[in-house]
Chain A
Amino acid sequence: MTAHGGPAAKTERLLNLVLCLLYTRRPLPKSKIREVVPQYGSAASDEAFDRMFERDKDELRELGIPLVTEDVSTIWEDETGYRIDQREYALPEIAFEPDELAVLGLASRAWAQASLAGPAAQALRKLKASGIERDSESLIGIEPRLRTTEPAFEAVKNAVLMRQEVAFDYRTGGEGEVRRRRVQPWGLASWHGRWYLTGHDLDRAAERVFRLSRIIGPVQTLPGIGAFAVPAHHRPRDLIRTTVGEQEPQRATLRAREGRGQSLRRRALQVHDDGSGWSVLELEFSDPEALADEVTGFGADVLAVEPAEVVAAVVRRLRGAAEAHGATGEGEGS
């Protein structure tokens, strides 16, 4: 019974199918394929064989194997023939220079800790199949590493590549509300170490950016591949930068205790000491909430002076933190 079941038997069947369809010059009709591939011969009935063959064809195509159908009708009967075009199948002969292989190796190894580690290694192996092995392990002395820890990564990536509409539950940044979103996925980008999906939000009828780590539960793909066109001018990173990132810079004044607030001092346009053990810092910022976060983090060592918006944001945070830890520090039931 081993010929029927089990993944090993199926791999054997598929490999035989690939081999005979690549080998043949003329398209093979189904009846001939059933003769040549022994695992089909054992199929109980014509219907069972037909079903199996149809599924196998689909799976080979999903792997990217260019299986073509051609008309092989004779005077006596109408029939379809199948074959795989060797030229379409095979990776073109590309000769890579050793320095090119070195950077390709680096590009491949960058994914070693990510969900795409398998395809990245496989791709390099294909390019190096012809045997040139001159890529030294770390010629360049640098190691970029990409990570894809967000559970939604695979599904979102596939939807972007296939241009398939998706729906998912999404938690907003501010209040943490969860809402269903339907999106035409345009692009996927890693920015500041986080993955973002860009696309057209179908309910809001506008361009939107979604952080993959805020997608909750499974990503549902809606039917249809290549269901929409991605605008030619769309650059995921640009949309993310304008949405998540910087607005117009403004000026802020801070007071920092001597030697404190190092990261702010580094960014400051001007620092002058007022002789009382404190420095006055002038710096540019674009997001008042982000600056308030940073300043609050220094506690009593750095104080916001201007603008009032930032001062209020810092004081609000400090009050909140003090009150939340006000009781005895204990007392939160779990």
Chain B
Amino acid sequence: MSAAGRGARRVPESATARLARLLTMVPWLVNRQGIDLAEAAAGLGVSEDQLEDDLRLLFLCGYGQMPDELIDAQWEGGRVFVTNADAIARPLRLGIDEALTLMVGLRALAAVPGIGEREAIERALAKLEQATGASAEAAARVDVAIDDAVEAQVLEGARRALEQRRRVHLRYLVPSRDEATERDVDPMRVLNLDAHWYLEGWCHRAQDTRLFRMDRIERLDVLDVDGTPPEQARLRDLTAGTFVPREDDLVVRLRLLPGATWVGDYYPVDSVERHHDGSQTVTLRTADTLWLRRLLWRLGGRGIVLEPAELAREVQTGAHEALAAYEGLAGPTPVGG
């Protein structure tokens, strides 16, 4: 079930889900009389066809069936008017999931080191709590920590550079290559994904857009240089995470024994085949095999390379080299090779 949720969104809307949506839509439109149909559809997060369908339905509804009791919805000429809907002119109170998303989101933001908007967050939270009551109490049982191991100084510097459109100089550790690099970057956004903070920007060294994990930035200097990224700089689509396999990547097949099957959850794999003994066969793609060799040493035999054979040999050779070094360390024992 590794493809859970991917593209499986198109479930037909239930009658009650649609009702809930309409009860939010009406007050939104009532307060925006004459709004352009396309703009309204965008603001409401639906297609124009869906919006027209919804308006057609509203037109049939009322607190009674006499003409003056029905909601009046008009959208001829591409402008939307909704009147005679006083009974539902205010939105329904926030549901428990709705209150939860905003409150958990705000509380997570409040914990961001060095965030300047803390006061606005506190005010928004207080108002929200007042307006939601019992939902707020339940929402308190859900908690998100996004303030993972980032130095406030680095985060603040990145945000400042972004706001002022200035270039930054980074000393950045690339763990898969085990080396620190120096580079100039034009910041494009600062984001937090899976509890890690990232700076995304145009890297002048790579001449490409790069994502830098902030806990690996050893040093960040905001330079007195314009940091507007070049035109060809594009933000990456991070919907599926930070790791983007490419077509020409090496295809690797691994056998994961019980105790190592977390690898399939943790790294983006193309396929997972589960076996009766609790083991798995996974396929993944990668441009660089160093991180994989390191992972396979760590797994201590619970992860086995099935393909390519070349990689299996490298894992074995590397492990023997390290073992030989330990024998050397232990003293006058024969050094194997």
- Show the binding face of A for B, using Cβ within 8 Å: 7-8, 10-12, 14-16, 18-20, 22-24, 36, 38, 59, 62-65, 86, 88-94, 96-97, 99-104, 106-108, 110-111, 113, 115-116, 119-131, 138, 140-147, 149, 151, 157, 160-161, 171, 173-178, 186-194, 213, 230, 235-237, 255, 259-263, 266, 293, 296-301, 303, 305, 311, 314-326, 328-330, 332, 334
Contacts and interface: CB of A to CB of B under 8 A. Distances in A.
Contacts of B112: 142, 144
B65 A126 contact: no
A303 B141 CA distance: 44
A290 B19 CA distance: 51
Given A15-B19, A260-B178, A89 B93 contact: yes
A60 to B, nearest CB: 8
Interface string B1-41: 10011000000111110111111100110011000000000
A129 B89 CA distance: 9
A329 B305 contact: yes
B92 A65 contact: yes
Contacts of A93: 90
Nearest to B119: A99
B335 interface: no
Contacts of A145: 191-193, 238
Nearest to A301: B178
B238 A322 contact: no
A321 B143 contact: no
A318 B316 CA distance: 9
Contacts, number: 393
A96 B296 CA distance: 53
Contacts of B131: 91-92, 94
A235 B142 CA distance: 9
Nearest to A316: B300
Given A36-B63, A107-B101, A146-B144, A91 B323 contact: no
B82 interface: no
B127 A321 contact: no
Interface residues of B, number: 132
- Most A-side CB within 10 Å, residue of B15, B145, B259, B305: B15
Interface stretch (B54-62, B72-80, B204-212, B223-231): B54-62
B318 A300 contact: yes
B309 to A, nearest CB: 4
A236 B115 CA distance: 24
Contact of A263 (B13, B130, B173, B194): B173
A328 B281 CA distance: 18
B192 A297 contact: no
A303 B329 contact: yes
B299 interface: yes
Contact of A7 (B18, B91, B301): B18
Nearest to B13: A7
B280 to A, nearest CB: 10
A325 B305 contact: yes
- Most B-side CB within 10 Å, residue of A19, A92, A255, A319: A19
A274 to B, nearest CB: 13
A259 B180 CA distance: 9
Interface in B125-180: 127-128, 130-131, 138-139, 141-146, 148, 159, 162-163, 173, 175, 178-180
17 contacts: A7-B13, A7-B15, A8-B18, A11-B57, A12-B61, A62-B16, A63-B16, A64-B96, A86-B90, A96-B127, A103-B121, A119-B95, A131-B31, A138-B189, A157-B142, A260-B178, A296-B300
B261 interface: yes
A298 to B, nearest CB: 7
Contacts of A63: 16, 19-20, 92, 95
B334 interface: no
Given A63-B19, A161-B100, A262 B178 contact: yes
Nearest to B22: A15
A328 B262 CA distance: 26
B126 to A, nearest CB: 10
B244 interface: no
- Most A-side CB within 10 Å, residue of B57, B58, B105, B146: B105
Nearest to B323: A318
A111 B124 contact: no
Contacts of B148: 192-193
Nearest to A110: B105
Contacts of B20: 63, 122
A103 B146 contact: no
A323 B321 contact: no
A325 B312 contact: yes
A147 to B, nearest CB: 6
